[in-house]
Amino acid sequence: MSNRQAADDEFARLLALVTSHLADRNATLDTLPTTPTAHAVRAAVATLPSSLPANGWTAPTTIDYLVKTLLPGCLTAQNGPRYFGFVTGGVTPAAQLAETLLTGYDENVTLTLPDTSAATAVEAKALEMVLDLLNIPRESFAGRTITTGATGSNVLGMACARDYLYANSPHLPQGYSYAQSGPPSSPTLPSPPIVVLGLHPHFSILKAAALVGIGGGPGVIQSLPADADDELAIDIAALHARLAAEKEVGRGVIVTYGLGEVNTGGFGRGLGNVAALCKEYGAWLHVDGAFGGFAGVLPELQHLVDGIELANSLTLDGHKWLNVPYDCGLFFTRDIGTLPALLGPPSGSGPAYLQTGSSSTAVGAGESQGFVHDHVPSPLFLNIENSRRFRALPLFASLVSLGKDGYIEIIRRNNAFAQRVAYYIAEHPNYVLLNASPGWVAGSMDRDQPPIVPLNIVLFGGSATSPFPPSDVPGQDGAPALTAAINATRRMYVSGTKWRGVGAVRLAVSNWRTGRDGEDFDAVKRVLDKVVVEACKKE
């Protein structure tokens, strides 16, 4: 047998072993512990080689080590139905299988080569279908790309905003390009030259603003007041006054608007009004809809995202509610040429070996003329990365396998599961629900009252008489202990946080598997009851 044949046979045998392992794991994922034991984690870390081996372990030894020793010390069921931390989705069957295929093909999707690969056409079509899923007209966002996640998308959003605001600054030559010329030095430019305004911007917005040279500190990232009647809505009068004042001094303004507050899943009203003011005063509106943007998939929740199509830029996360593998972020912006102007080389100066012969600025030929692959822009000129994996393939596979109705069913079922857990907590003597929807009244029979929680997040803590008293009880903060006790069961996983200065437990439901039968809800009830009983025994 030749060396090549032996190597091929060995790979086939190892592939069958890995496939069998994944199939067994998939069959038991609904009941697997959500996390490994602390002992398994320590054992896995202890077996890591102290340095690069002089002689390789060989592929069979390595795969055996990964499956039997290392992976048991990693998260065992993050993509399972009872992992409720960090708004983490799972992986749909089609997406998981497509992920395996893309790794095998290992294509670097960075250039549009119409006669060589269809990969960029797949990416362009997947991005169109995401807009279709959200009922957003495709023409609303002509600039589209797939990123590593919400942070990568927010970086692009802040960079696009930065260049737009400098190009339109009254203190600089019209069309000034920060991307090409760097920070301007005009003596009349206000300090800071750009501010970022928002209610509860995610930390990734601060990171993104810092990375693109706007600044991530409190002098740049500034809070807007909330509406007197809605703590998650921007005070429109205050925003109007602030935009007018900033226009007077010629300072650039980025307004960030979060769809789905990260702790509560709540939505403020008035995105359309915010968009109108931003347009009037030349501010850039960046909407971070990483998970909350997908509320727009459901007809009954479409009102929560009204105005989303008016943003200058939009961030979404595929690896959250779309349930495709990490990592998959989505970025959309209104203008066709914004991303190429920011990320493409100056005219005529691009590397010769990266020339494609296709337009780098055209985006998807007009829908009326059909889809023309030759006009799909190269991701090289739309994205941070020069080398990037075929992230679009699992996204495309999941979208076409489920269709709009399939995603409607998942998101509706996830929300119903969150509502059911919220009701249980609200009626439990040892727990307090912290994110009940405004206007929801316990015990009310009014069919028109809002859902008990806004979307897919349940925020709660221990009651004052429980073993986990809230932090507004002097000298107490039972939330970290409650979070740890729940997670120690390994039957479900939650994350800890703070809301309105009070420690809290956050349970986020966004996995396609969750709630397919009654087992997941029963497991949640058992855990919530057990941790109280066990804590009382220790007192």
Mean pLDDT by 10 residues, the chain (539 residues): 91 97 96 95 97 97 97 95 95 98 96 94 98 97 97 97 98 96 94 95 94 96 95 96 98 97 93 98 97 96 97 97 97 95 77 59 42 86 94 98 98 98 97 94 82 96 93 77 97 95 95 96 98 88
Closest listed residue to residue 271, CA positions, set 252, 284, 258, 253: 258
Question: Residue 473 has what pLDDT?
Answer: 63
How far apart, in whole angstroms, are the C-alpha atoms of residue 500 and residue 336?
41
Which residue do the tokens 């911007």 mark? 201
How far apart, in whole angstroms, are the C-alpha atoms of residue 370 and residue 372?
6
How far apart, in whole angstroms, are the C-alpha atoms of residue 244 and residue 229?
23
Which domains occur in the chain, in start order?
Answer: 13-35+75-92+405-539 (3.90.1150.170), 140-179+189-336 (3.40.640.10)
Q: Is the dihedral of CA 4, 9, 13, 18 positive or negative?
A: positive
310 to each of 165, 284, 285, how far by Cα in Å? 18, 11, 8
How far apart, in whole angstroms, are the C-alpha atoms of residue 166 and residue 203?
24
- Interior angle at CA 405, CA 402 and CA 411, nearest 5: 90
Strands (DSSP E) found in 169-246:
194-198, 221-223, 226-227, 230-234
Which residue do the tokens 């190009």 mark? 167
How far apart, in whole angstroms, are the C-alpha atoms of residue 176 and residue 100?
45
- Interior angle at CA 63, CA 93 and CA 60, nearest 5: 130
Question: Residue 445 has what pLDDT?
Answer: 74
Question: Residue 537 has what pLDDT?
Answer: 84
What is the total residue count of the chain?
Answer: 539
Which residues fall within 8 angstroms of residue 288, CB to CB, at 6 or more apart?
Answer: 150, 154, 201, 202, 204, 205, 256, 257, 258, 259, 315
How far is the first Cα of the chain from the last one, in angstroms, to the nearest whole number? 69
At position 423, the amino acid (one-letter code) is Y
Question: Residue 234 has what pLDDT?
Answer: 97
Do 403 and 166 contact (CB within 8 A), yes or no? no
What are the DSSP calls for 169-190, one per residue? -TTS-TT--HHHH-S---TTS-
Question: Residue 217 has what pLDDT?
Answer: 95
Partnered with residue 230 across adjacent β-strands are: 227
pTM over 0.85: yes
Taking the mean position of all CA atoms in its chain, how far away is CA 120? 22
Closest listed residue to residue 94, CA positions, set 49, 119, 126, 135: 126
Question: Residue 475 has what pLDDT?
Answer: 64
427 to each of 263, 437, 446, how far by Cα in Å? 21, 15, 18
Taking the mean position of all CA atoms in its chain, how far away is CA 376? 25
Closest listed residue to residue 313, CA positions, set 132, 96, 157: 157
